[in-house]
Amino acid sequence: MKMVTWPDVNQTRTDTSTVIGTSIIMAIFLGLVDWIVQWALQFLA
């Protein structure tokens, strides 16, 4: 463990914010795609 270079607090916060932000954006995108597909299938049925 002596050779491990641990990230500092700012880098950890930046990486965490990036992961959370990307997760939220993907959730919104996939939710919209799901809603559009459901609407299209109901329209066709």
pLDDT of residue 1: 74
pLDDT of residue 26: 99
Task: Report whether 7 contacts 15 (CB < 8 A).
Answer: yes
Cα distance between residue 42 and residue 25, in whole Å: 26
Using one digit for the tens of pLDDT, what is the confidence trace for 1-45? 789 999 999 999 999 999 999 999 999 999 999 999 999 999 998
The pTM of this model reads: 0.78
Cα distance between residue 19 and residue 7, in whole Å: 16
How is 16-30 classified by DSSP, letter by letter? HHHHHHHHHHHHHHH
Cα distance between residue 15 and residue 38, in whole Å: 34
Both structure tokens of 6: 């641990």
